[in-house]
A = this chain, B = another copy of it.
């Protein structure tokens, strides 16, 4: 089943303790789409400016990602993010954010997208996320990401959005902030009680937790020593997860857990290179091979 994603498309400048790389293809919807493209066809909604290099669109097209919904603002500039990772490669400082055309992003979906069954709202203004949802009334599964900014500044809208979602994906710090609790198991269930049928808490190098009414579980991250650039890890996680669900066209508990595992593994590849560099070198076979290792790792 095709998978619709709405989110940011960006140019990233990334500083790590070892290396600095500029003008990388980035953004939540980009990392998500690329990750999901190993599993299903993706319909991307985003916005870029006149400075957007055509080669980036070509790359997405080459992965079978439908970029009809990638709007270009002719007199605008593309969203750019500049960040610096600490020595631990887990914490980072945002050095500069230029929202540019993404600041006014308020998408009207192409007609061909409105019948999507699987929808992912990458991190964005909750009011805009809701407007997108209203354009896909026949959806079967809607999952969103969010961030501390909206928890702090748009809580009312966010609460309303939570009531319309099947699933929410957020990171550990955000879950603690949203619920005011430090225990992640408690926090996960508290978020679930705010509306979504299931909640996924991403813990970066420590893996991800899943919460539904009848299930609570944790899957560890795939251990890798080649952490080159963690940017987009959370979005690739979501892309791998949603891509697998759309491919299977169901979200039974068993499928959801396998989807969590695929998300984990796609994210583990994503961090092994700057931007999408490592992702560009792998195939579904590489992911499935790592899945075999991962299953072996978790069985005893």
Contact = CB atoms under 8 A, between A and B. Distances in A.
A185 B225 contact: yes
A217 B223 contact: yes
Contacts of A203: 206
B223 A220 contact: no
A89 B205 CA distance: 20
Tell me which of A189, A209, A218, A299 has the highest count of chain B C-beta atoms within 10 A of its own C-beta: A218
A6 interface: no
A20 interface: no
B297 A217 contact: yes
Nearest to A300: B257
A288 to B, nearest CB: 14
Interface string A170-207: 00000000000011111001000000000000010111
Contacts of A184: 205, 223
Interface string A243-259: 00000000000100110
A258 to B, nearest CB: 5
A87 interface: yes
B182 A88 contact: yes
Contacts of A254: 300
A216 interface: yes
Integer count of this chain's copies in the complex: 2
Contacts of A89: 182-183
A223 to B, nearest CB: 5
Interface string A265-300: 000000000000000000000000000000101111
A205 B207 CA distance: 12
A29 interface: no
A262 to B, nearest CB: 10
A185 B223 contact: yes
Contacts of A216: 223
Shortest 9 CB-CB contacts between residues of A and residues of B: A206-B206, A257-B300, A218-B220, A185-B225, A298-B298, A88-B182, A217-B297, A220-B220, A186-B225
Given A217-B298, A218-B297, 18 more contacts: A87-B182, A88-B182, A89-B182, A89-B183, A183-B225, A183-B227, A185-B225, A206-B206, A206-B220, A207-B218, A209-B223, A217-B223, A218-B223, A220-B220, A257-B300, A260-B300, A261-B300, A299-B299
